């Protein structure tokens, strides 16, 4: 929605007296991100051709951390500062393992940079600020609800994601700022869970910044982690009461080429029985690097069967960013 059409309710906004750092100065580090993606891009159908979110300045030279799905395959990026300036940017890197993306501003930002928290903070119960671009009216006082594993249907998993509550309405690329004014993580998703009384509770899933600190040098030097790419199957799976089911496959991807179909149930990978998404992705990644062939046991309408999938590097499906 347009920036002028919403704001965090006043009672949920952080107050400068509640934190031990300059709140308004820190919030200037959060910028708006608008990414334009060509219609023929692999991710255009699922993520759209115009993506809006936020990013956080992490270096004085205009390096910005965001969530990678905002900028993957982007041809054009515009950054919007707290004082209304629009500055072009370039998609510098995308780490599929963590989900982080990096943008380099192509003009002078003149904005403060937030230091990255490299330790284990925060802890459940800690009060933090989750902020999208737009200053205090787009900043939310929140609590760390949990730190636990997250597995996504798109061949993605974090050993220990950060969950915050209440949920921010503009979470993509939002910066989670801790009590010392450091960047604790970048907003990725909104999720629904039930509390002890059966009521729905909305949470934000945030990718911890310590994962970015560990990979930042590689991302700046190579645009990706400097190690063999994980194998990618192009399969989208979900969990139900009976185990794992294929919800869809990437068009012309490895799984589709191997005959995997919507509705198939995944029983094992290379002989390892899998019953949930985390176990599935661990088994896939344990089979080797991109290019590895792996045997999946499936069950479908025709009964139980085995198929061999020749995995690939996910990047081979994506358009590389262009520097204008």
CB 77 within 8 A of CB 68: no
Reduced to 3 states (helix: H, G, I; strand: E, B; else coil), residue 150 is: strand
Element (H, E) at 163: strand 156-165
What pLDDT score does 259 carry? Answer: 96
Is the model's pTM score more than 0.85?
yes
Cβ–Cβ contacts within 10 Å for residue 271, how many? 8
Residue 15: per-residue pLDDT: 96
What is the signed CA dihedral for 312, 257, 42, 225, rounded to 10 degrees? -10
Which helix (H) or strand (E) segment is 243 a member of? strand 243-249
- The pLDDT value recorded for residue 120 is 83
Contact 65, 183 (CB under 8 A): yes
Report whether 263 contacts 247 (CB < 8 A). no
CA 83 to chain centroid: 27
pLDDT at 1: 40
- The answer to whether residues 304 and 297 touch, using CB atoms and an 8 Å cutoff, is yes
Low-confidence residues of the chain: pLDDT under 70: 1-4, 195-196, 321-324
SS3 assignment, position 279:
helix
- Rg over CA atoms, the chain: 20
Give the tokens for residue 289: 């690097």
Give the Cα separation of 210 and 227 in Å (integer). Answer: 18
d(CA 245, CA 265): 4
Concatenate the DSSP letters of all residues of 202-216 into one string. EEEEEEEHHHHHHHH
CB-CB contact of 27 with 131 (8 Å): yes
First-to-final CA distance of the chain: 28
Domains defined for the chain, CATH in brackets: 21-113+218-222 (2.40.10.10), 235-317 (2.30.42.10)
pLDDT at res. 4:
57
Extract the tokens encoding 220.
Answer: 């700046």
Per residue in 180-200, pLDDT (tens digit) is 999 999 999 999 877 667 778
Give every CB contact of residue 218 below 8 A, 6+ residues apart in sequence: 224, 225, 226
Beta bridge partners of 308: 295
CA angle 245, 147, 265 (to 5 degrees): 5
pLDDT at 196: 67
């Amino acid at each position: 929605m347009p920036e002028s059409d919403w704001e965090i309710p006043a009672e949920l906004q952080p107050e400068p007296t509640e934190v031990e750092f300059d709140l308004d100065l820190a919030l200037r580090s959060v910028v708006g991100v608008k990414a334009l993606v060509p219609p023929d891009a692999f991710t255009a159908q699922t993520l759209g051709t115009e993506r809006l979110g936020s990013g956080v300045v992490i270096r004085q030279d205009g390096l910005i951390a965001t969530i990678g799905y905002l900028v993957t395959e982007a041809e054009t990026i515009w950054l919007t500062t707290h004082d209304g300036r629009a500055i072009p940017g370039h998609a510098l890197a995308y780490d599929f393992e963590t989900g982080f993306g990096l943008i380099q501003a192509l003009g002078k930002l003149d904005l403060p940079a937030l230091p990255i928290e490299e330790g284990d903070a925060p802890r459940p119960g800690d009060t933090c600020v989750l902020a999208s671009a737009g200053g205090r009216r787009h900043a939310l006082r929140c609590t760390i609800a949990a730190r636990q594993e997250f597995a996504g249907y798109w061949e993605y998993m974090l050993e220990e994601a950060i969950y915050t509550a209440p949920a921010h309405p503009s979470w993509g690329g939002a910066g989670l700022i801790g009590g010392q004014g450091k960047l604790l993580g970048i907003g990725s998703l909104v999720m629904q869970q039930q509390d002890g009384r059966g009521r729905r509770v909305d949470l934000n899933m945030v990718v911890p910044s310590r994962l970015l600190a560990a990979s930042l040098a590689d991302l700046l030097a190579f645009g990706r982690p400097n190690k063999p790419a994980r194998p990618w199957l192009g399969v989208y799976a979900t969990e139900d009461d009976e185990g794992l089911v294929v919800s869809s496959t990437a068009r012309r991807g490895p799984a589709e080429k191997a005959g995997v179909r919507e509705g198939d149930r995944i029983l094992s990978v290379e002989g390892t029985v899998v019953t949930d998404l985390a176990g599935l992705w661990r088994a896939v990644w344990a089979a080797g690097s991109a290019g590895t062939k792996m045997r999946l046991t499936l069950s479908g309408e025709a009964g139980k069967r085995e198929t061999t999938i020749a995995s690939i590097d996910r990047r081979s499906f994506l358009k590389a960013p262009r520097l204008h």
